[in-house]
Amino acid sequence: MNLKIQTNKIAPCKQEIKVDIPVDKLEQKMDNLYSQISRTAQISGFRKGKVPRNILEAHYREEIKDKAIGETVTEAYSDAAKNFDFVPIDLPQISNVKLENDYLRFQATVETRPEVKLGRYKGIKLVKKEGKVNKDDVEQQLKFLQQIRQTSQQKNSAEKKQDDLPPLDDEFAQQMGKSSLKELKEAIREDLIQVRKEETDRKLESDLFEQILKSSNFDLPDSLVQKQKKTLLENMQNYLAQQGVEQEKIDSHLKESKKTAQDRAVKELKILFILDKIARQEKIEIGEQELNKEVEGIAQRFKKGVDEIKEDIAKKGLIDDLKVKLRERKTVEFLIKESQVNETTI
């Protein structure tokens, strides 16, 4: 299509596009539509497929014209978008469609992908505080299991007293699925080490993101922020409902959380766009082998076959989403590797 295209940035992450389409493109579209309708049109006095053009125009002029304009504008916007130096993130809002001076003209407004301006993201100084697991931590977790077991016994036996705790011995350990108290303590210790490690890693990532965010300044499309905010509030509502919280209290909590949800939505989206920009800049990609390894891990967790999981992911159209998540994880690992991490123990 021989189009005249003008683009104008009217706000951060928002573009106005003006397109002029030669009127002969509209006329060609109308001719095609009349040709199509002539095959099926049933008008008294004429055989199907033999209705003259002027009779068709008398019956279908406005319908054909509106449809032709709509299709021509849609196709013209699609062609114009191939030449944009920005990336639309949503469908355009079309307005001011009119025939003027041998052109079909229209205007489109569209929100665009943010222009991420990266600050420093290599050599960031971080402190990794490893939490040790000591004997008291294990004993505290044992007491917690002891109390849970007591509660379970009370439910199953009306004769049990409130303060009658089960003894911490090998029999207790066997009830917890371990062969001895020593084995149970070791299992608790290993679980706590893993929990502390995950907490440490999350804190390290959080500190990394905070520093990168400070040096990366850019705007976000409002529609994306509102969509993310809505998702956060819906997830919060579902969680509270599952915990049995009354609807009145849920509504009150959601009302109080709107501001924090807005801030959190902005932060999460900025982190995602920053990670994507860094991945592109550093040419971080996910290969077939990495994807297969992740699918194998999912299959093991759900105790299903690899092919079954792979087929299910493909059927739901989630392959690209999985690749994005893996690339984000790989980018975070790259950033931590490139940081100056000072490890301490607390």
pLDDT band for 141, please (50, 70, 90 cuts).
very high
Q: Are residues 107 and 11 in the same domain?
A: yes
Out of 54, 81, 111, pick the residue that ends a domain: 111
The token pair at 269 is 């989206």
The total number of structural domains in the chain stands at 3
Whether 159 is in a domain gets the answer yes
83/55 same-domain check: yes
Average pLDDT of span 188-209: 94
Residue 299 belongs to some domain of the structure = no
Average pLDDT over residues 316-330: 93
**pTM of the full predicted structure?**
0.80
Domain co-membership, 107 together with 13: yes
- Which of 286, 270, 293, 266 lies closest to 334, judged by CA? 286
Q: How far is Cα 33 from Cα 20, in angstroms, rounded to an integer?
A: 21
Q: For residue 152, what pLDDT is reported?
A: 79
Say if residue 162 is in the same domain as residue 225: no
24 and 64: one domain?
yes
If asked whether residues 192 and 223 sit together in one domain, one would say no
* Structural domain containing residue 10: 4-111
CA distance 55 to 42: 11
Q: pLDDT tens digits, residue range 247-268? A: 999 999 999 999 899 999 999 9
Mark whether 75 and 172 lie in a shared domain: no
244 shares its domain with 270: yes
| Domain-terminating residue out of 68, 92, 111 | 111
Which pLDDT band holds residue 74 (cuts at 50, 70, 90)?
A: very high
Do 153 and 229 belong together in one domain?
Answer: no
Q: Is the pLDDT of residue 155 over 80?
A: no
Residue 195 structure tokens: 């929990």
CATH number at residue 97: 3.30.70.1050
CB 38 within 8 A of CB 57: no
